[in-house]
A = this chain, B = another copy of it.
Amino acid sequence: MDKKAKVLEAALKLFVEFGFHNTPTSKIAKEAGISSGTLFYFFPTKDELVVALYLDIKGKLGCEITESISQATSFKEILKKYYTTTLDWAKEHIAEFKFMEQFNSSPYLKKIAEDEIQKYVKPLKELLQNAIDEGVLKNMDLEILFTLISGHTFSINQYLIISEPQESKREQIISETFDLLWQMISKI
């Protein structure tokens, strides 16, 4: 019934398959089972639809992570939760992840306000700063630390999506690569 959600769903599917270009609004409307006019009733321009889809997905992932982190106690546990939750979410939402990847490395990214982006990374950065101050992590530049963790997570995610290991193997890879990450950033 919620046609706005239907549009986002259809747009996601088509954008991932064909790219932002090669996905006319007419096809999105058709895929969503609505008229072209309705699409523009909800999203005044195609650009706004693309950005809205990005923020929608980013928000959902953000919620998932925030929730899963809340249950952890030690910093190492929190970070591992962050790591596994991100990878699990990506596995269950491959299209969403591919879309975010495409969006992140496109000129569309510039259309989003800086604080809109920071909103989702700020909590993690604060946790990292605390861990540095408490001597849990190596004393390094916060931005570099954040970059290393995101980069590691992102690349292992790519690997898991491409190689599609069996569940037991997958868990082993996640656990081992987390240990490698932890070894790299933790104090001795």
- Among candidates B104, B105, B143, B148, residue contacting A152 with C-beta atoms closer than 8 Å: B148
Closest to A15 in B: B107
Supposing A19-B106, A19-B108, A105-B104 touch, asked if A173 and B152 sit within 8 A by C-beta, the answer is: no
Report whether B163 and A156 are in contact in the complex, using a CB–CB cutoff of 8 Å. Answer: no
Contact residues of A between 100 and 123, Cβ < 8 Å to B: 101-102, 104-108
Is A70 in contact with chain B by the CB < 8 A criterion? no
Interface of A is mostly: helix
**Given A152-B152, A156-B151: A177 in contact with B20 (beta carbons within 8 A):** no
- Cβ contact within 8 Å between A156 and B147: yes
Residues of B within 8 A of A181 (CB): 184
Cβ of A168 within 8 Å of any chain B Cβ, yes or no, is: no
Interface string of A153-188 (1 = CB under 8 A from B): 011101100010000000001001100110111000
Q: Bound state CA distance, A173 and B143, in angstroms? A: 11
Q: Report B-chain residues with C-beta under 8 Å of the C-beta of A102.
A: 105-106
Query: Is residue A150 contacting chain B, with contact meaning CB distance below 8 A?
Result: yes
Please name 17 further chain A to chain B contacts, defined as beta carbons within 8 Å, in addition to the given A102-B105, A141-B173, A147-B156, sorted by A numbering: A20-B21, A22-B107, A143-B159, A143-B163, A147-B155, A148-B155, A148-B156, A150-B155, A151-B151, A151-B156, A151-B158, A152-B152, A152-B155, A155-B155, A180-B184, A183-B183, A183-B184
Binding site for B on A (CB under 8 A): 16-22, 98, 101-102, 104-108, 140-141, 143-144, 147-148, 150-152, 154-156, 158-159, 163, 173, 176-177, 180-181, 183-185
